[in-house]
Amino acid sequence: MSTDPFAWLISLEGVPSGFAGARDGIDVMLRDRGLRRTSPELTAESLLRGAHASAVLEGSASSLAQVRAGEGDEIARDAVRVATELLSLLPVLRRQPLQALARIHTLAARGVLPDEMLGRPRPGDSASRLRGIADLITAPTQAPALAVAAVVHAELVTAAPFGSHNGIVARATERLLLAAKGVDEKSLVVPEAAHLALRPAYESNLRGWADGGPAGMHSWLLYATEAYSAAAEASPLVRDAE
């Protein structure tokens, strides 16, 4: 019996080819545009755009211009605080994913939840669910890195292990995984903006994943292949060149 926790998705119709196509699109974008123009400023811009989109998905009413000017609402400020420190957590995610997840939540929920709840799972089975998600992050697998990021994202949203900001944590972890697994080491694609642009499908497919049925999980993965293609197009490497 396979010990690969992602083995079940490799044979799903349209999933391997969909993720392969999305990865090719990301690679082409980074190669054709990124090698000539990559800079820390572009990474910072990608992170800012991602923070804004993630905040809107979490309920923020702030515009990108407001967030850029430091005038966003509380949820937007929470998301920006996560984005500012996110890439520094790369080595932590690789070695101690539970610690990385706790730190992301602490950044997101600071000032919202009591200090004793920051980075800590809710009562009940949340701790075991969170450990299971952390195990997925470091598990050896033959599955595409994009598929791993998509599954971890969906698991964090639907498990909702923390007392608040689970969506922001999930989307930040997804972005961090793309960097950690070598898909987008400089964090130039903007998956959060893709999810916002595809919001009805994003939210519908997350509900399908939460139901736990094979069809819902399959649909989420197919959605994710589309979203990652859109994430490449949302990169400032592309947008700023238009």
| 242 band by pLDDT with thresholds 50, 70 and 90 | very low
Average pLDDT in the chain: 94
Which runs of consecutive H residues, i.e. helices, occur in 14-114? 15-29, 35-37, 40-57, 64-68, 74-86, 90-95, 97-109
How does pLDDT run across 41-98, given as a tens digit for each residue?
A: 999 999 999 999 999 999 999 999 999 999 999 999 999 999 999 999 999 999 999 9
Distances (CA, A) of 153 to 68, 159, 166, 170: 26, 10, 10, 5
Residue 182 gets the label, from left (phi > 0), alpha (psi -120 to 50) or beta, of left
How does pLDDT run across 184-213, given as a tens digit for each residue?
A: 999 999 999 999 999 999 999 999 999 878
The closest of 13, 84, 89 to 48, measured between CA atoms, is 84
DSSP-derived letter for residue 122 is P
The closest of 53, 54, 44, 45 to 168, measured between CA atoms, is 54
Q: Which residues contact 27 (CB under 8 A, 6 or more apart)?
A: none
Rounded to whole angstroms, the Cα distance separating 47 from 53 reads 10
The pLDDT value recorded for residue 38 is 73
Domains of the chain (ranges, CATH numbers): 7-239 (1.10.3290.10)
Global confidence as pTM: 0.95
Residue 4 gets the label, from left (phi > 0), alpha (psi -120 to 50) or beta, of beta
> Which structure tokens are listed for 222?
């197919």
Rounded to whole angstroms, the Cα distance separating 150 from 91 reads 20
Are the C-beta atoms of residues 118 and 110 closer than 8 Å to each other?
Answer: yes
Type of residue found at 110: R
Q: Collapse the DSSP code of 63 into the 3-class scheme (helix H, G, I; strand E, B; otherwise coil) and give the result.
A: coil
Rounded to whole angstroms, the Cα distance separating 165 from 172 reads 11
Are the C-beta atoms of residues 240 and 46 closer than 8 Å to each other?
Answer: no
Residues 2-14 as b/e (b if ≥16 CB within 10 A, e otherwise) read: eeebbeebbeeee
Q: At residue 167, what are phi and psi to the nearest 5 degrees?
A: -65, -45
Q: Where are the beta strands (DSSP E) in 147-232?
A: none
pLDDT at 21 over 70: yes
pLDDT at 176 over 90: yes
